[in-house]
Amino acid sequence: MDKAEVHVKLGPFRKEIKKNYDLYLLLVPGFLFFLIFSYIPMGGLIIAFKDYNIFKGIFASDWVGLDHFKEMLDIPAFWQMIRNTLTLNVLSLVIGFPAPIILALMLNEVRAKYFKKISQSLLYLPHFMSWIVLGGIVYNLLSPENGVVNEIMRQIGLPEIYFMVDKVWWIVAYTFSGVWAAAGWGTIIYLAAMTAIDPHLYEAAVIDGAGRFRKIWNITLPGIMSTIVVLLILNIGHMVSIGIEQPLALTNPVVTDVSEVISTYIYSVGIKQGEFGLTTAVGMVQSVINLILVLGANYTAKRLGNEGIW
C-alpha cells in the first residue's frame, strides 16, 4: 500500500478528529478508566489456570490447567449459589425492570412542576446512598420489635413477622429493597428518552380524540421502546451477577441458604481464605455465561425487529 493510498484512507478520520476534537477529548477520561480498570485487569484471568502464589507472582506460579474448574464443580454449595443468584436476579428483573418505566410514565404526566421535582428527588435519593445505610433502614423498618411495618401489623391485629430471618420473606425484602434503590435511576433514563418524542404526535392524538392512556400506549411506549430493549438486554447480561453490597448488607447467618450468591462466595473464599485461583475460575465462568446471555438477548431482540446494543 503506497503513501497516497494511506493518506486517502486516513484523511477523513483525521478531519473528523480535527472537526470534533473537543468531543473526542471528552472520551479520553472514560476510555482511560475502562482501559485501566476493566481491560488491563483481564490479564489476571490467567490465575484461573495457575496455583497462584502471591510471593511468586502470576507468571512464576505453577500451571494447574483446568483443575480449578473441576474443583469448582465439586463445591457442595456451587449449584446452590447459582440457584440463589438466578432466583434473586429473575425476581429483580420481573419486578424491578417495569418499575422505573411505570414511574417515568407517571411523572411524565404530572403537570405540577414543584411536585414533579420533589418526587424525582425522593426517587433518585436511594441510588446515591450506600447499601450499608440502605440495609440499616431496611432492618429498622422490618424489625419485629420496633419496626414500622410490624407495628402497623400489630395495630390491625395481625401477628408480627420476622422478615429478615424467614427465608421467603428475606427474598421478598431483598427484591423490593433493590427495586427501591434502583428505580429512581432508571426513571431518569426513561424520562430523558421521553423528551426525544415529538410533541406534535401528542397534539395530533388529542385532535383525534385519544385519551391519556391511549397516548401512553400508542405514542410514549413506542417512543421509548428502543431504550427499554437496550436496558433489558443489559439487565439480562447480568443475570448470573449480583453486586456484593446488597447481599452483604442484608444477609445474616439464618438465611445463608438463600442469600449466599456467587459474589459473596468469591469474597469469602477468595479474599478471606486466599483461594485466588478457584474464585478467579468461578468469576471467569460467570463472565462467560453473562456474555452468552447478552449475545443471545441481543440476537433475539434484532430477530423480533427491535434495535440491539450493536
Q: Are residues 237 and 126 in the same domain?
A: yes
d(CA 296, CA 301): 9
pLDDT tens, position by position, 39-52: 998 888 899 999 88
Residue 105: is its pLDDT beyond 60? yes
Domain around 123: 66-303
pTM of the model: 0.84
Q: Are residues 142 and 280 in the same domain?
A: yes
Q: Is residue 309 domain-resident?
A: no
pLDDT tens, position by position, 62-90: 899 999 999 888 888 888 999 999 999 99
Of all residues in the chain, what percent carry a pLDDT higher than 90?
47
Q: Is residue 53 domain-resident?
A: no
Q: Are residues 113 and 32 in the same domain?
A: no
pLDDT tens, position by position, 273-298: 888 898 999 989 998 999 999 999 88
Q: How many domains does the chain contain in total?
A: 2
**Residue 44 CB partners (closer than 8 Å, separation 6+):** 58, 280
pLDDT at residue 17, rounded to an integer: 81
pLDDT at residue 152, rounded to an integer: 92
Confidence of residue 10 (pLDDT cuts 50, 70, 90): low
pLDDT tens, position by position, 108-131: 888 888 888 888 888 888 988 999
Amino acid at 261: V
Confidence of residue 168 (pLDDT cuts 50, 70, 90): very high
pLDDT at residue 9, rounded to an integer: 53
Residue 306: is its pLDDT beyond 80? no
C-alpha cell at 241: 451477577
C-alpha cell at 227: 431504550
**What's 225's domain CATH number?**
1.10.3720.10
